[in-house]
A and B are shown apart, each in its own frame.
Chain A
Amino acid sequence: MKKYIDDFVVVENRRLNHEYVILTLQLDRELPEILPGQFAEVKVENGPDTFLRRPISIHDADYDKMQIKLMVQEIGEGTRIMGGLQKGDSLNLVYPLGSSFSEPDTDDVLLVGGGCGVAPLLYLGRRLKQKGITPKFLLGAGNRNGLVAIEEYEKVGEVNVTTEDGSAGTKGYVIHHPLMKTDKPAYGHVYTCGPEPMMKVVARFAQKHNIKCEVSLENKMACGIGACLCCVTDTQDGRVCTCTDGPVFDSTYLKWQI
């Protein structure tokens, strides 16, 4: 897929809670094709210490409005600068990068997300819905305040939640939800993005039940385009770049100890 480098203009910065925002970014021409699971390398301006671009998933894309959305969790200087962007600010993106979630062979799919890993699942869910598939989401957070933009997910599928403190949905981690505690899972394809321990338990569950499972990794990246070989992960084919061969991988392709 052809990669682009473009300046977008922030048309909205919607704050979801003390650490999450959703940025709506406007392009001045038609958007190129962007696949669910792909990401952008975002240039952070004016950070005293930030230097490299920051990889951020495409949270949503609207071809009619020529807009994309990024969901950003502020965990360091770069993401905090993004979180502080104002309407009218410009943001330079190299995009769309990396592999994408594949199309399912089944109509019953489960999308499991935690933390900022929920970000790419919205666009994936939207694309599935356009194909006539109603996805089930399973979204996990520490507490109810950490469950962000749930209403957007409800627009495209059935939403199930877990919180560690039980303040919303099932108490515990995603793996404690009835959807994953069953011996007869009612879905044939699982997509997951979030903290690695979470993805590993999801992958273990899927493998046990012979369900195809795709995971999206968040390795540290310098270039995002396969030029530096910094972002590798161990696979059946040796070390491959997460930014070009991933971020989305079939869980059985990875050399995960699960």
Chain B
Amino acid sequence: MADLTIDLRNGLKLKNPVMTASGTFGYGEEYEDFFDISQLGGIIVKGTTGSRREGNPYPRMTETPKGMLNAVGLQNKGVDHFVKEIYPRIKDYATNILVNVSGSTVDEYEDVARKINELENIPGIELNISCPNVKEGGMAFGTSCPSAVAVINAVRKVYDKHIMVKLSPNVTNVAEIAHAVEGEGADSVSLINTLLGMAIDAETRKPLLSTITGGLSGPAVKPVALRMVWQVSQVVKIPVVGLGGIMNADDAIEFMLAGASAIQIGTANFIDPLVSVKVIKGIEDYCERHDVKAVRELTGAMITE
């Protein structure tokens, strides 16, 4: 059997390259009835902010061709609730639990990160500087180099474990942002967050989301995500975690060939709650078929000539 382990460095070692994406896998508990979630390489839990957020009004979701638009808007009960109520319930899962950290101000990011730093069984955070569904902060931090730099710089000072920075695809030059983020001490980057989109009902002439615009995810975004992962992996030395529209093992392997060291599965969990374990199995089979000894050999192994 191939060696599936991946070392993303600074304390983040995965038993396999498959993680579940923030906002699509709850706190893991929601999927426990279906399979043993400790099989996963990691779980990125919901976006967590400094204080409780109610998120955006309903409707927050609409299906689109081969994908969906969402405008959840970081609904969560705040970091203190996470620390007190949720962490004790999930801390003993035998997988990596990463907290997706978000905020409206640099101070808020810093505050959340400092509190998560105290939690022994959380090996890392994913800094969400790319949420398209909040009025302030979120994506605004991830769409320009100076603001991205400010967030990471502040968080790096208070957080010593693994920092994965989640990048927005809603930018002109994603590689430039990735490069800046690396310079501030990020341990890895993950991409992509959702692509800004919208949908209208022609009959009623109304927008289908309460916020008018929302974030597109699912297979519809995969070619864009793959391209961005490839571009970013050309310019950074830190590991790249790829996501966006992964539905099966072939998709996952394509992201690795484009330069990803690990991958995340998001929207696909809604359609098949068992998809992540199927992808792990599929990667294993692929390695077998292609005589790959260690899955890390696939990272950036696209053949161009």
- Given A52-B68, A220-B62, A222-B68, is A227 in contact with B75 using a C-beta cutoff of 8 Å? no
- Give a binary string over B44-66; 1 marks a CB under 8 Å from any A CB, 0 the rest: 00100000001101111111111
A5 and B46 CA atoms in complex are apart in Å by 23
Query: Which of B150-158, B183-191, B268-276, B288-296 is the interface stretch?
Result: B268-276
- Given A2-B33, A3-B34, A227-B26, is A94 in contact with B273 using a C-beta cutoff of 8 Å? yes
**SS class of chain A's interface: helix, strand, loop or mixed?**
loop
Contact B273 A228 (CB under 8 A): no
B-chain residues with CB within 8 Å of residue A256 when the two chains form the complex: none
A23 and B54 CA atoms in complex are apart in Å by 38
For B33, give its contact among A3, A222, A223, A231 (CB under 8 Å).
A3
Does B305 sit within 8 A of A, measured CB to CB?
A: no
**SS class of chain B's interface: helix, strand, loop or mixed?**
loop
- Given A51-B68, A51-B271, A94-B273, is A233 in contact with B63 using a C-beta cutoff of 8 Å? no
A228 and B54 CA atoms in complex are apart in Å by 14
A-chain residues with CB within 8 Å of residue B30 when the two chains form the complex: 223, 225-227
For A232, give its contact among B34, B55, B68, B274 (CB under 8 Å).
B55
Contact A227 B271 (CB under 8 A): no
- Give a binary string over A219-250; 1 marks a CB under 8 Å from any B CB, 0 the rest: 11111111111111110001100000000000
- Given A53-B270, A225-B273, is A230 in contact with B72 using a C-beta cutoff of 8 Å? yes
Nearest CB in chain B: distance from A235 CB, A: 11
A-chain residues with CB within 8 Å of residue B25 when the two chains form the complex: 227
Contact A4 B33 (CB under 8 A): yes
Does A43 sit within 8 A of B, measured CB to CB?
A: yes
B-chain residues with CB within 8 Å of residue A49 when the two chains form the complex: 65
A50 and B62 CA atoms in complex are apart in Å by 11
| Complex: chain A residue closest to B219, CB-CB | A51
Contact A228 B63 (CB under 8 A): no
Does B23 sit within 8 A of A, measured CB to CB?
A: yes
A223 and B218 CA atoms in complex are apart in Å by 13
- Give a binary string over A1-34; 1 marks a CB under 8 Å from any B CB, 0 the rest: 0111100000000000000000000000000000
Can you offer 25 A-B residue contacts whose CB atoms are under 8 A?
A: A3-B34, A5-B34, A51-B67, A52-B63, A52-B271, A53-B270, A219-B58, A222-B61, A222-B68, A223-B270, A225-B30, A227-B25, A228-B61, A228-B270, A229-B23, A229-B55, A229-B72, A230-B60, A230-B61, A230-B72, A231-B58, A231-B61, A232-B55, A232-B75, A234-B58
Using CB atoms and an 8 Å cutoff, list the residues of chain A in contact with chain B.
2-5, 43, 49-53, 94, 219-234, 238-239
